[in-house]
């Protein structure tokens, strides 16, 4: 995607030195566009934990580059396996992280130590390229859903889409997942308008999705997380489109906290609720999302404090919860498959069920 006319991915190898890894510091957006230089696996682990990089597919790709960075110094089996275990523990819910690290292990462990550093960079680049193509294809397969709704509208009347969290190009290597569908509909000339859930506590909607959509010229309105149900009751949402951090064999969907409540409201109001995912988000080793997906508990300070721009232009973190009150911060929830209208993948659309998934991914039987 482009920022001020310049095309970027969300992670890349520095063109000048040929080995360090560049990312946007997402904790600084939307107030500043800052590029970070990562040179050591500990910096990569910190970037993932602190959410300088975030979004399920992107943390997988960045972790893969973290392996490449580390192997420049040391590449024996014990070091490689310890490194993969360390990076794999940085965030628990998105399966893409472990998927990417397992792919690195498979590509590297059978090689002689001397070949591992170059092979690690090549495999990390292949993971990144795969994600770009996958996300582009997700957009293509989701596009007919928007076209169908647009065909029922009066000419020029926008398709109203509600989304949660940030599923855009900065959550992936490029394009995004649910936002890839929206970008491609917008680029195809379909009038769209996006209701952007603010997504407390970390405000990925207000900070990141609003920034991305604004930069791309997509009409949007930021709403409080609690507004979606009301808008659905009043016919102001045509479709919900969200991403996911893990989809189970039976089609249960883990995503940013609050997704489940939107799915409940959508179900009650007969609003279609679609979930976009790349193959790297599928975890066929688990079935019951509610019992089997680990839910990340983050620092309660993310709940008690928000950061924002003060009138003098400085950015500050302020407390928004009464002193002395405790806060809890579960970062994800699980939407049962029965509340999901369907899944949008790089191979097409399917029902959120084992049969639906196996229809698209027979090799995962």
Q: Which stretch binds ligand MRU (CB under 6 A): 74-82, 170-178, 228-236, 347-355?
A: 170-178
Contact residue for ligand MRU among 204, 250, 335, 345 (CB under 6 A): 204
Taking the complex as a whole, how short is the minimal distance between the CB of residue 78 and ligand MRU, in angstroms? 30
Task: Please list the helix, strand and coil fractions of the chain in percent, rounded to the nearest 5, in that order.
Answer: 45, 20, 35
Should residue 90 be labelled a site residue for ligand MRU when binding is judged by CB under 6 A?
no
Should residue 163 be labelled a site residue for ligand MRU when binding is judged by CB under 6 A?
no
Should residue 222 be labelled a site residue for ligand MRU when binding is judged by CB under 6 A?
no
| DSSP 8-class letter at 296 | P
* Catalytic residue list contains 17: no
CA quadruple 336, 338, 344, 350: dihedral, nearest 10: 130
- Those residues with Cβ within 8 angstroms of residue 230's Cβ, 6 or more apart along the chain or in another chain: none
Contact residue for ligand MRU among 165, 192, 196, 231 (CB under 6 A): 165
Should residue 9 be labelled a site residue for ligand MRU when binding is judged by CB under 6 A?
no
**Dist. CA 44–CA 23, nearest whole Å:** 10
| DSSP 8-class letter at 247 | E
Catalytic residue among 174, 245, 283, 333: 245
Should residue 218 be labelled a site residue for ligand MRU when binding is judged by CB under 6 A?
no
Taking the complex as a whole, how short is the minimal distance between the CB of residue 8 and ligand MRU, in angstroms? 17
Taking the complex as a whole, how short is the minimal distance between the CB of residue 167 and ligand MRU, in angstroms? 4
**Dist. CA 342–CA 159, nearest whole Å:** 18
Contact residue for ligand MRU among 13, 41, 57, 241 (CB under 6 A): 57
Contact residue for ligand MRU among 170, 190, 331, 343 (CB under 6 A): 331
Question: Nearest 5 degrees, angle CA 38-CA 41-CA 43?
Answer: 50
3-state secondary structure (DSSP) of residue 192: strand
Reference 52, options 269, 7, 63; nearest CA is 63
Positions touching ligand MRU (CB under 6 A) are: 54-57, 94, 165, 167, 171-172, 177, 204, 243-245, 255-256, 331
């Amino acid at each position: 995607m482009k920022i001020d006319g310049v095309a970027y991915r969300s992670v890349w190898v520095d063109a000048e030195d040929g080995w360090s890894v560049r990312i946007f510091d997402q904790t600084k957006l939307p107030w500043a566009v800052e590029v970070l230089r990562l040179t050591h696996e500990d910096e990569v682990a910190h970037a993932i934990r602190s959410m300088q990089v975030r979004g399920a597919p992107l943390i997988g790709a960045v972790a893969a580059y973290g392996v490449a960075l580390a192997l420049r110094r040391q590449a024996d089996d014990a070091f490689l396996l310890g490194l993969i275990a360390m990076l794999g523990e940085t965030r628990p819910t998105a399966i893409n992280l472990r998927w990417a690290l397992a792919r690195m292990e498979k590509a590297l462990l059978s090689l002689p130590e001397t070949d591992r550093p170059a092979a690690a960079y090549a495999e990390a680049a292949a993971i990144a390229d795969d994600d770009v193509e996958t996300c582009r294809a997700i957009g293509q397969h989701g596009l007919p859903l928007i076209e169908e709704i647009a065909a029922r509208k009066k000419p020029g009347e926008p398709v109203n889409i509600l989304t949660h969290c940030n599923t855009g190009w900065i959550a992936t290597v490029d394009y995004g997942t649910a936002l890839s569908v929206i970008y491609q509909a917008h680029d195809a000339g379909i009038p769209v308008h996006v209701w952007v859930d603010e997504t407390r506590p970390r405000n990925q909607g207000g900070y990141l999705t609003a920034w991305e959509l604004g930069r791309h010229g997509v009409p949007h309105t930021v709403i409080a997380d609690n507004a979606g149900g009301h808008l659905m009751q009043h016919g102001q949402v045509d479709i919900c489109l969200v991403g996911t951090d893990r989809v189970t064999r039976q089609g249960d969907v883990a995503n940013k906290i609050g997704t489940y409540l939107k799915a409940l409201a959508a179900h009650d109001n007969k609003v279609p609720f679609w979930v976009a995912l790349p193959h790297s988000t599928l975890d066929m080793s688990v079935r019951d999302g509610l019992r089997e997906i680990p839910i990340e508990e983050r620092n309660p300070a993310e709940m008690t404090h928000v950061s924002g721009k003060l009138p003098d232009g400085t950015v500050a973190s302020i407390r928004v919860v009464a002193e002395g009150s405790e806060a809890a911060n579960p970062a994800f929830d699980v939407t049962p498959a029965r509340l999901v209208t369907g899944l949008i993948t790089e191979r097409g659309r399917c029902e959120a069920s084992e049969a639906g998934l196996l229809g698209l991914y027979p090799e995962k039987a």
